[in-house]
Amino acid sequence: MITTLSPKQQKTLIRIILAFAILVSVIILQQTNIVSETAILLVLYLVPYAVIGYDVLTRAGKNIFHGKIFDENFLMTIATIGAFALGEYPEAVAVMLFYQVGELFQSYAVSKSRKSIAALMDIRPDHANIESNGQLIEVDPGELKTGDVIIIKPGERVPVDGVVISGSSDLNTMSLTGESLPRPVDAGDEVISGCVNMSGLLRVRVQKPYGESTVARILDLVENAAAKKAKTENFITTFSRYYTPVVVGVAAALAVLPPILFGEPFVDWVGRALIFLVVSCPCALVISIPLSFYGGIGGASRNGILIKGGNYLEALAKTETVVFDKTGTLTTGSFRVNSIKPSGEMTEEQLIMYAALAESSSTHPLAASIRAAYGKEIDRSVVANVTETAGRGVSAEVSGRVVLAGNAKLLADGGVAIPPSAPAGTAIHVAVDKIYAGYLLFSDTAKPSAKKAVNDLKKLGVKHTAMLTGDAEAAAKLTAEELGIDSYRAGLLPQEKVSGLEDIMEKFGGSTAYVGDGINDAPVLSRADVGIAMGSLGSDAAIEAADVVLMDDDPAKVATAVRISKKTFWIVRENIVFALGVKFFVLAFAAAGFATMWEAVFADVGVAVIAILNAMRTLGFSEK
């Protein structure tokens, strides 16, 4: 830990060790009666007090001068000076000493969390290489225009989003996605800015100017994330604003009223008031609560999840319903043959063979999935007279037989009637020699982690999962059943998705999250309590509208985000209950005259240190 401390933190640590050593030495001198003179002891105890507390005393003085009286520096100062006045020298030094220990832990935790977030900030490219007259010239990424061709050397960061024209390499996407495995890229592949080119030379055509590239959007989101506080943070800020003056007033009343009203000794009640003041310092809350949220955001960043503020972290922790978009979010957008339904005497093997041979030259995505389902080498020598009609399908001669493979319109044009029982979803109908031969059903391929995402969310306490999609009913039903999604609505336009989400929010209540990726998801992302966008493949509008961005399009990261948020919020509640519980208990004892200064020290700085250490657990969140 020491090697990772900043110079300022190392200086504080040295002061803590030095003050502690002097304090122990003076206590030994006092306990062994080597030094018993009160005046000398006071001077000796003032040495560690000055070593460890001079900056707190200075800040308290400056704040008072500027009219900002009631803060933790003021409370530390007045309590410790009061303890000296009552002759409780070790306790006075201990209060300041443990306060600085808590401050050091807090500073270390903030630095560590900031480094996690800064790892995202480190994606900013320094320069771009552009070709001009056969020469490579380094330019600012902001000077690049759409269509420019740039060269990315091994070891350099991709400056803007683009498409590889030539070359192949592996990209390190860890700072963007949290994924440690390199991503291979080749000619024709898209590259996103912020990744590091690890091996080969890449020639890339610029698709977006720097200001619209992934790296610029992410940096803008990160820079604005810390400004959005959770409701709990705002409550603690407001609470401490009123709490400190109130406890100072109560302490003053405690010191003055009983002696005046009941003739009690002033010394006893001033002592109780000072103990009351020491206990009442709100450091445990005002430090540990923001630290917990900051640590949670940092932990999420380390897992490739950008949460735009503590308020969204808190809302995510309370999520009871998660609604997904389908294509691009739960599915890859690539189709596969899901079912082969022959008709008449045609077998499944014959049906897929005729369809694959007829579609052997087509570049349509469904044709590719038919050939993949056939799984055998295509013998093009038996295929002739291929005619492809856009939007309808293919006609071809296969081993001398006329084959039609396409939609209902294609078969109708060929004089072939489709049985009424045939499905209306995504299907390819096949006819051989003008006789209906059957159909192939297709479904979108679910992402490998999609089912795990749904299961993990339910294990985390999400009560309902739903899917809203513009796809056909059959495809939506198949995906929902495959992934275990509780309900779905299909065939929706963007505005209908919004009304669909509102229906779900009204029916199930609680906090609702929506996960989407396309530009059509932007309105519904904005309407949800928490909008979660798929980052690297998501549209600009979706990322802008979202509250949480997943950097690697992995739906399982939704559960990771919820898990981190719940853990963070749980730690926040632990600290609030623990700190207030101990403080109110010891405050009551202090007012009644049963608490000592040492118990007050524990209730204040001891509780603060424990709460800060508890808050630091948020820094360790990892799914790796």
Q: Which residues are catalytic?
A: 325
DSSP type of residue 606: I
Rounded-to-10 torsion of CA 188, 189, 194, 197? -80
For the chain, what is the largest distance between any 2 Cα atoms, rounded to a whole number of angstroms?
118
Distance (Å, rounded) from C-alpha 109 to C-alpha 236? 19
φ, ψ at 532 (rounded to 5°):
-120, 120
Distance (Å, rounded) from C-alpha 25 to C-alpha 20? 9
Q: Is 619 left (phi over 0), alpha (psi -120 to 50) or beta?
A: alpha
Q: Residue 396: which residues within 8 A CB-CB, separation 6 or more? A: 357, 358, 360, 383, 384, 385, 386, 387, 402, 403, 405
Residues in the chain: 624
Tokens of residue 136, six digits: 């490579």
Burial of 390 per CB tally in 10 Å (0-12, 13-18, 19+): exposed
Which among 289, 290, 287, 282 is positioned nearest to 247, based on CA atoms? 282
Q: How many CA atoms lie within 13 A of 198 on its CB side?
A: 13
Distance (Å, rounded) from C-alpha 98 to C-alpha 276? 17
In what order do the strands lie in the sheet containing 401-406? Answer: 331-342, 435-446, 427-432, 401-406, 393-398, 383-389
Residue 618's H or E segment, with its range, is none
Tokens of residue 434, six digits: 């003008």
SS3 118: helix
Tokens of residue 205, six digits: 């055509």
SS3 553: coil
Contact in structure between 411 and 418 (CB atoms under 8 Å): yes
SS3 333: strand
Contact in structure between 529 and 515 (CB atoms under 8 Å): no
Q: Residue 103: which residues within 8 A CB-CB, separation 6 or more? A: 12, 287
Contact in structure between 307 and 225 (CB atoms under 8 Å): yes
Rounded-to-10 torsion of CA 547, 553, 558, 564? -80
DSSP type of residue 337: E
SS3 512: strand
Distance (Å, rounded) from C-alpha 610 to C-alpha 69? 26
